[in-house]
Amino acid sequence: DEGAAALGEGLMRNGTLARLTLSSNAIGPAGAAALAVGLEGHRSLRSLSLADNILEGAAGCEAARSLLLAPSCLERLWLGGNALGPAAADALVPAPPGSAQLTSLWLERAGVGGAGSRVAQLLAPTSVLCHLWLGGNGLSDDAALALARALAGNSTLLKLWLEHNLITLAGARPLLAAAVNGGSLTQLTLEGNDLTADGCAELEAAAADSNVRLRARREERLAETHDADSDRISERPPTGG
């Protein structure tokens, strides 16, 4: 946290940095809060990765919220691999105008499964998210149904990753229907959920003549991710599990 605090102070004096990658360190809530202070009024930092640190529980969620509320031009935020817990679904709702307006949010393996349907708050009407990663969170059908309702009225989200959760066909059907029948979604990733081969075939048939690229089968296992060190969406083989 001392290092993050120093970086926060440095941001106050820097007007050119566009990307800051601090993944896999030992940054906790105090360090993230210090970075939020440094972000206030920063006009160039658009990408921040705090993935796989020690932002945990209520304090971690509060610090994450402070990153959004800081008046800045931050667009891409990586928080995956932090044990934020279900409260992250409340903490990371879209910030009001004048604050950070995220277009990409990586929230994989963040323990948000207990939030259930509240996870759909991430796609509130004021959201401008284009890419949302929610893989490996233990999300079940109640979350899928809520996300389906949110997608029906969403006009910005392009890609949604929900791989390795607990979604069954009962949740996947309406989720895909919402994507196919309206909105802006072009890719839906569901591999590694509780879907049988027949269920995957049904979903693939439903998506066949649409603009939505569906990934549902476990054997596809090619994870698509965003590289925090670039501005590209790239595909890479999974690194484990």
Rounded distance, CA 25 to CA 69, Å? 23
**Where do runs of H (alpha helix) occur along the chain?**
2-13, 29-39, 57-69, 88-91, 141-152, 169-181, 197-207
Six-digit token string for 199? 């269920």
Distances (CA, A) of 173 to 84, 145, 178, 181: 29, 9, 9, 12
Q: What is the pLDDT of residue 121?
A: 94
Q: What is the pLDDT of residue 239?
A: 32
Between 40 and 219, where is the model more confident? 40
Q: What is the pLDDT of residue 219?
A: 60
User: ∠ at Cα 186 (99, 211), nearest 5°?
Assistant: 150
Distances (CA, A) of 28 to 50, 51, 53, 134, 204: 10, 11, 7, 21, 42
> Are 180 and 207 contacting, i.e. CB atoms less than 8 angstroms apart?
yes
Rounded distance, CA 153 to CA 103, Å? 17
Rounded distance, CA 229 to CA 212, Å? 27
Instruction: Answer whether residue 195 shows pLDDT above 80.
Output: yes
Rounded distance, CA 22 to CA 4, Å? 9
Of the candidate ranges 29-33, 179-183, 218-222, the one whose mean pLDDT is the lowest: 218-222
Give the confidence band of 65 by pLDDT, cuts at 50, 70, 90. Answer: very high
Between 151 and 71, where is the model more confident? 151
pLDDT (average), residues 80-92: 96
Instruction: Answer whether residue 222 shows pLDDT above 70.
Output: no
- The pTM (predicted TM-score) of the whole model is 0.89
Q: Which phi and psi (to 5°) does residue 138 adopt?
A: 70, 25
Rounded distance, CA 232 to CA 12, Å? 27
Number of neighbours of residue 26 by Cβ within 10 angstroms: 10
Q: What is the pLDDT of residue 97?
A: 84
Q: Which residues pair with 48 in a beta bridge?
A: 20, 77
Give the confidence band of 213 by pLDDT, cuts at 50, 70, 90. Answer: very high
pLDDT (average), residues 111-139: 95
Instruction: Answer whether residue 62 shows pLDDT above 70.
Output: yes
pLDDT (average), residues 15-26: 91
Rounded distance, CA 108 to CA 96, Å? 24
Q: What is the pLDDT of residue 4?
A: 78
pLDDT (average), residues 106-125: 95
Between 139 and 182, where is the model more confident? 139
User: ∠ at Cα 216 (23, 226), nearest 5°?
Assistant: 25
